Amino acid sequence: MKAAVFKGKGSLAIEEMPAPVAGPGKVVIRVTYCGICGSDVRLFSEGFFPTGLVIGHEFCGTIHEIGPTVEGWSVGDRVTVMPSVKCGECRFCQSGEWHHCVDLKFLGVNEGMPGAFAEYVTTNASMLHHLPDEVTDEEAANIEPCAVSLRAVNRSGIRVGDSVVIFGAGSIGLFVLQIARLAGASTIYVVEPAPSRSQAASILGADEVFDPSSTNIPGEIANLTGGGADVAFMCSAAPSVLQQAVDTVKCQGKVIVVGAGLSANVIPEFWMWKEIEVKGSFAYLDEFPLALDLFKQGKIKVEGMISDVIPLEKVQQALQDLAQPTSQIKVLVQPNQKPGL
C-alpha cells in the first residue's frame, strides 16, 4: 500500500509498504478520508513526529480485515476511530481524566502507532465507533476536531443568553460556533481575517463576522454587548489574539484557550483587574461519542468547511500551505484516490 511517511522536519515521502495485517484484538481499516489537523501542520514543521511514522489521526473508513478474538464487527462496516490510547493505570486514567494520562499516545502522532495518511491502517477494535447512515464520510472525518470543540464549550460553562466571541474560524472555531449555539449562546461574533473562513462562519450561523485588520475588536464588541462578551474562545494561534480576547470579555468573563500553538505576550495584570478566568481545554474524553451523536442528529454541519480533497501525493504541499496564513479550512486526504483523477 501507499502511505505518507514522516522523514524529518518539514518533509515526508509517499512510500510503498506492506499493508498492515490484523493481529489479535485488531482490525484493518481501508481509509476513506483522513483530515489534516492544525496539530499535524505544527508538528510537521517543528519535526515532532518520529521519523518513519505514517501520520494522520482524523479519519474514517470501512473495515477491511478482522483479527482473531475481535467480536461484534464485520468486514465492510463503516467506522471511525478515537485515535488516543491511554495506559489505564496512572492516576489520571484511574480518576477518569485519561486525556491527561502520563503515557497518552495518539495514532498517527506517536512512535509505533502508524496513522491514516495511508490506504490502510490498523487499530484496536476497542477504539472503533460505528458510523450510522445519517453521518456522511466528510462528517465522520471531522468527529475528532468536533470533539475538541465540544470539550472547549463544555469547559466554558456557557449559559443560556450568553454572548460569545470566537477568535479564528478554522475547523475548531467553526465547531465551537455551532456547539456554543446548541449550549444556549444568544449572540456569537467571529473574528477572522480570511474571506473564505468568514463566509463559512456566516453560513454556520455567526451573528456577525469581523475582520480584525479593519475593526477595533474590543471596542466593537463592547458596543454590541454593553461592556464585553461573556466568553471568548481562542481558536487561532495568532500571537495578538489572547490580549485581544482579554480586552474583549466583560469583567469576570472567561477566555478559553483551545487552539494549539498559541503563544502570546500578555499582561496578566489585566486578568486580575477584570477578574478574568483564563482556562485551557485539551483534546476530549466522552466528547468523542457525543460529537458523533450530534452529527447523527443533524445538529452539527460541515457545510462550507471542506475546502479541498486531495490524494496522498499532495499531503506534503498541503501541510506546507496550511502553515502559512491561508484561506483553507479543512483539507481531507483521500488515500485511495488515484492522483490525477
Q: Kindly list the residues in this chain that would bind Zn ion in the complex (CB under 5 A).
A: 37, 58, 86-87, 90, 93, 101
Angle subtended at Cα 231 by Cα 299 and Cα 289, rounded to the nearest 5 degrees: 35
Kindly give the residue spans of alpha helices, DSSP state H, lying in 4-102.
38-46, 91-94
CB atoms within 10 A of CB 291: 28
Closer by beta carbon to Zn ion, 7 or else 86? 86
Identify which of residues 87 and 267 has a Cβ nearer to Zn ion in the complex.
Answer: 87
- Give 37 or 318: the residue with its C-beta nearer to Zn ion: 37
Write phi, then psi, for 27 (nearest 5 degrees).
-130, 160
Q: Phi, psi (5° rounding) for residue 93?
A: -65, -45
Least separation in angstroms between CB 204 and Zn ion: 19
State the nearest-atom distance from the C-beta of 210 to Zn ion, in Å: 27
- Residue 76 Cβ, how far from Zn ion at the closest point, in Å? 26
Q: Spell out where the chain has E strands.
A: 2-8, 11-16, 26-35, 58-66, 78-81, 84-85, 105-106, 120-124, 128-130, 163-167, 187-191, 208-210, 229-234, 249-257, 277-280, 306-310, 330-333
Task: Name the residue nearer to Zn ion (CB basis): 177 or 221.
Answer: 177
Give the shortest CB-57-to-Zn ion separation in angstroms. Answer: 6
- Closest CB 10 distance from Zn ion, rounded Å: 19
Nearer to Zn ion, 90 or 310 (CB): 90
Of residues 38 and 228, the one with the C-beta less far from Zn ion: 38
- Cα 329 to Cα 84: distance, rounded to the nearest angstrom: 23
Q: Cell 475588536, residue?
A: 217
What's the rounded Cα separation, in Å, for the pair 204 and 145? 16
Nearer to Zn ion, 145 or 253 (CB): 145
Minimum separation from the CB atom of position 38 to Zn ion (A):
7
Q: Is 78 helix (H, G, I), strand (E, B) or coil?
A: strand
* Grid coordinates belonging to 53: 511514522
Shortest reach from residue 314's CB to Zn ion, in Å: 19
Closest of 340, 329, 324 to residue 141, by C-alpha? 329
